[in-house]
């Protein structure tokens, strides 16, 4: 068994490119044989409490019987059919659900196959809208620094241009307008100075810009920063005043992760275009959606092309749509908000000791997100090994050690997760 595992690992290291890794200096990987509940079962027999929800997607954990049943029921009917000229009940039912739970007037849905693609579609919608309105000069975007919107090219162009993961492509990416990230923490008293940089940017460039795009309340992979919902409220007002569309990237913040169903709900606003993904299928299959309004869809459909010029092969995949609908029904089958509050209170208590460590810059918690920001970058491979040795799965990056556990995690498991995180952090960089 050990030889077989090692042979597979050797092949993996030699031939398979993992996310954000080098083929000449590959990071260590850990073979998973199965997963159930909140546990990842390694091929060598060890069990790890998953603190990452598989990059924030597996909100109900793994091997959930209701989601498994939805997948098995649908696959016997059809796993996939093209969405061009064909429709099906899984896509219709899921779209009904999404319209029901997202803020009005979002009622037009484009079903796509990944978060990055949903951002590409959102941007394309914005540009096509203004082109159809006889304003082709509105062909750039505005956003804030420290953001992350995906790895495809236009999505990369609105990620942080300096500290982001894509700065090496700056010379070939489209050029957009950036201002400083919101400096106001989530619970800070509001001061209009917090929105001043964005207001100045909008006043200067609104005639040539199609939209403002940002992640609501939580900046995810760009820094795990939480900012005041009042910023969103003020931004919505500015977009209305200066005739700009507002695109909200809810891929990481959607479906309850922040304590509200969507990040924009903290501010009681609605965007013109919204992107959702990640937790949409509970981590079972890749699926995303871009939602917009009748106003925007009518303008695009009445324009030069007469259509939104996009169409992924696997859009509206019936297997993914069936699982997504079951996943959302499962979320609403219990008091999900009280459950997120439970997780939040445990994360606050469990990570609080980290504030006393001299190597820690900040500790912050919002909903089912817990972040420990270090003063210096961590040695990811080394600290990852320590987490695995302690029976937990945490995937740090840069200076950030964070957790976004599955919503089904129990108190004892959450206590173990935060205790082990704290123990290892206490010895990191000391």
Q: Answer whether residue 405 is part of any domain.
A: yes
pLDDT band (50, 70, 90) for residue 140: very high
Peptide bond into 105 cis (omega under 30): yes
CA–CA separation, 23 and 388 (whole Å): 22
User: What are the tens digits of pLDDT across the range 389-418?
Assistant: 999 999 999 999 999 999 999 999 999 999
CATH number at residue 254: 3.40.640.10
- Cβ contact 232:247 at 8 Å: no
User: What are the tens digits of pLDDT across the range 281-330?
Assistant: 999 999 999 999 999 999 999 988 899 999 999 999 999 999 999 999 99
Residues 6+ apart with CB under 8 A from 139: 127, 130, 208, 210
The predicted structure's pLDDT at residue 159: 92
CATH number at residue 358: 3.90.1150.10
- Tokens 């479906």 correspond to 255
Q: Answer whether residue 120 is part of any domain.
A: yes
- Do both 222 and 326 map to the same domain? yes
Whether the predicted pLDDT of 429 surpasses 90: no
- Do both 57 and 86 map to the same domain? no
Q: SS3 sequence, 292-305? A: EEHHHHHHHHCCCC
Q: Regarding beta strands 360-366 and 369-374, do their DSSP bridges make them parallel or antiparallel, or are they unpaired?
A: antiparallel
> What's the average model confidence in pLDDT over 27-47?
96
> What's the average model confidence in pLDDT over 129-134?
96
Q: To the nearest whole percent, how much of the chain has pLDDT over 90?
A: 92
- Do both 281 and 374 map to the same domain? no
* Containing structural domain, residue 87: 69-331
Q: Answer whether residue 170 is part of any domain.
A: yes
- Do both 184 and 236 map to the same domain? yes
Q: Answer whether residue 100 is part of any domain.
A: yes
The predicted structure's pLDDT at residue 222: 86
- Do both 233 and 292 map to the same domain? yes
Cα-based angle 242, 248, 249 (whole degrees, multiple of 5)? 150
- Do both 193 and 272 map to the same domain? yes
Domain count for the chain: 2
Q: Which of 331, 352, 381 is the last residue of a domain?
A: 331
- Cβ contact 235:211 at 8 Å: no
Residues 6+ apart with CB under 8 A from 39: 47, 48, 49, 50, 62
Q: Answer whether residue 377 is part of any domain.
A: yes
- Do both 218 and 203 map to the same domain? yes
Q: Which of 331, 359, 387 is the last residue of a domain?
A: 331
- Do both 349 and 271 map to the same domain? no
| Residues identified as active-site | 20, 148, 249, 278
Query: How much helix, strand and coil, in percent to the nearest 5, is found in the chain?
Result: 40, 15, 40
- Cβ contact 62:36 at 8 Å: yes
The pair of structure tokens assigned to 11 is 């092949």
Whether the predicted pLDDT of 430 surpasses 70: no
Q: Answer whether residue 38 is part of any domain.
A: yes
- Do both 342 and 324 map to the same domain? no
- Do both 324 and 340 map to the same domain? no
Q: Answer whether residue 288 is part of any domain.
A: yes
Which of 95, 305, 394 has the alpha carbon at shortest distance from 297? 305
Average pLDDT of the chain?
96
Which of 28, 21, 53 has the alpha carbon at shortest distance from 284? 53
User: What are the tens digits of pLDDT across the range 154-213?
Assistant: 999 999 888 766 778 888 889 999 999 999 999 999 999 999 999 999 999 999 999 999
Cα-based angle 279, 85, 75 (whole degrees, multiple of 5)? 45
Range from 65-69, 100-104, 172-176, 189-193 carrying the lowest mean pLDDT: 172-176
Cross-strand bridge partners of residue 175? none
Q: Which of 283, 302, 331 is the last residue of a domain?
A: 331
Phi, psi of 421 (to 5 degrees): -60, -45
pLDDT band (50, 70, 90) for residue 85: very high
User: What are the tens digits of pLDDT across the range 333-356?
Assistant: 999 999 999 999 999 999 999 999
- Do both 185 and 248 map to the same domain? yes
- Report, in angstroms and rounded to the nearest whole number, the Rg of the chain calculated over CA atoms: 22
The predicted structure's pLDDT at residue 169: 86
Q: Answer whether residue 10 is part of any domain.
A: no
User: What are the tens digits of pLDDT across the range 265-285?
Assistant: 999 999 999 999 999 999 999
- Do both 314 and 349 map to the same domain? no
The predicted structure's pLDDT at residue 400: 97
CA–CA separation, 386 and 350 (whole Å): 18
């Amino acid at each position: 068994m050990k030889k077989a595992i090692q042979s597979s690992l050797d092949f993996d290291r030699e031939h398979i490119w993992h996310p954000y890794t080098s083929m000449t200096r590959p990071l260590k990987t850990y073979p998973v044989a199965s997963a159930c509940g909140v546990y990842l079962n390694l091929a060598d027999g060890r069990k790890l409490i998953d603190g990452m929800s598989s990059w924030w997607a597996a909100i109900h954990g793994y091997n959930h019987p209701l989601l498994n049943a939805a997948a098995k029921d649908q696959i016997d009917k059809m796993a996939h059919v093209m969405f061009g000229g064909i429709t099906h009940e899984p896509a219709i039912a899921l779209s009904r659900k999404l319209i029901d739970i997202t803020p009005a007037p979002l009622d037009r849905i484009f079903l796509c196959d990944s978060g990055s693609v949903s951002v590409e579609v959102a941007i394309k919608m914005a540009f096509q809208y203004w082109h159809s309105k006889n304003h082709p000069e509105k062909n750039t975007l505005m956003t804030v620094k420290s953001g992350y919107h995906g790895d495809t090219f236009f999505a990369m162009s609105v990620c942080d241009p300096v500290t982001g993961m894509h700065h090496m492509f700056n010379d070939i990416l489209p050029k957009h307008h950036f201002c400083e990230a919101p400096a106001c923490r989530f619970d800070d008293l509001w001061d209009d100075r917090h929105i001043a940089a964005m207001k100045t940017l909008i006043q200067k460039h609104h005639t040539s810009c199609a939209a403002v795009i940002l992640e609501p309340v939580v900046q995810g992979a760009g820094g795990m920063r939480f900012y005041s919902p009042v910023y969103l409220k003020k931004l919505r007002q500015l977009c209305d005043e200066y005739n700009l569309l507002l695109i909200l990237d809810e891929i990481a913040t959607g479906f309850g992760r922040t304590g509200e169903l969507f990040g924009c709900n903290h501010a009681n606003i609605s965007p013109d275009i919204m992107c959702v993904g990640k937790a949409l299928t509970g981590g079972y299959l890749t699926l995303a959606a871009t939602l917009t309004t009748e106003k925007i869809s009518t303008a695009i459909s009445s324009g030069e092309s007469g259509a939104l010029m996009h169409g992924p092969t696997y859009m509206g995949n019936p297997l993914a749509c069936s699982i997504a609908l079951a996943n959302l029904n499962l979320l609403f089958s219990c008091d999900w908000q009280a459950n997120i509050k439970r997780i939040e209170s445990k994360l606050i208590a469990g990570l609080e000791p980290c504030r006393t460590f001299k190597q820690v810059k900040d500790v912050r918690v919002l909903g089912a997100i817990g972040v420990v920001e270090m003063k210096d970058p961590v040695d990811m491979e080394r600290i990852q090994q320590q987490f695995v040795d302690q029976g937990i799965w945490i995937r740090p990056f840069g200076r950030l050690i964070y957790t976004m556990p599955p919503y089904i995690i129990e108190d004892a498991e959450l206590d173990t997760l935060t205790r082990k995180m704290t123990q290892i952090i206490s010895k990191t960089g000391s």
